């Protein structure tokens, strides 16, 4: 398996596992895993109606760029670096894109 395929599979497996835990019968929101495996964009969304308001909320957004996983959005308390490392991804292959460049390496060490 080439590196991009390994990164893609780790992301998709993580998002699928996370989505399984998002079952709430009290709302009418749907959990959607959106993946563009050609351009390497992956998102987990909550979509639907809640209290007469339309909700479109991105929980996670990952991209694969230059053979690295870019975490663009993490709207959870999950330590996403640890989760991906547990799935066989090197910390050196994970970029926290939502943080300023000067903090990215330090954040990998502390997570």
Among the residues of 1-111, which ranges form H helices? 3-20, 80-86, 101-110
Instruction: At 45, give phi and psi (nearest 5°).
Output: -125, 155
- The domain total for the chain is 1
State which residues form the domain around 20.
Answer: 3-110
Round the CA-based radius of gyration of the chain to a whole number and report it.
Answer: 15
Beta-carbon neighbour count of residue 102 at 10 Å? 7
Residue 103 pLDDT: 82
The overall average pLDDT reported for the chain is 90
pLDDT average, residue stretch 72-98:
94
Confidence of residue 23 (pLDDT cuts 50, 70, 90): low
State the CATH number of the domain containing residue 61: 3.30.310.110
Residue 89: Cβ within 10 Å count? 21
Split at pLDDT 50, 70, 90, the class of 1 is confident
Per-residue pLDDT, averaged over 35-63, amounts to 95
DSSP 29-40: EEEEEEEETTTT
Please tell me the pTM assigned to this model.
0.88
Mean pLDDT value across residues 23-39: 86
Average the pLDDT over 63-91 and give the result: 95
pLDDT at 109: 46
Give 24's pLDDT tier (boundaries 50, 70, 90): low
């Amino acid at each position: 398996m080439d590196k991009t395929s390994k990164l893609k599979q780790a992301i998709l497996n993580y998002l699928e596992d996370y989505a399984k835990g998002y079952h709430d019968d009290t709302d009418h929101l749907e959990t959607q895993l959106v993946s563009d495996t050609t351009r390497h964009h992956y998102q987990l969304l909550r979509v639907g109606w809640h209290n007469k308001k339309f909700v479109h909320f991105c929980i996670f957004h990952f991209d694969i760029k230059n053979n690295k996983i870019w975490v663009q959005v993490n709207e959870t308390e999950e330590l996403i670096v640890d989760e991906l490392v547990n799935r066989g991804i090197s910390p050196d292959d994970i970029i926290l894109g939502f943080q300023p460049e000067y903090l990215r390496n330090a954040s990998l060490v502390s997570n």
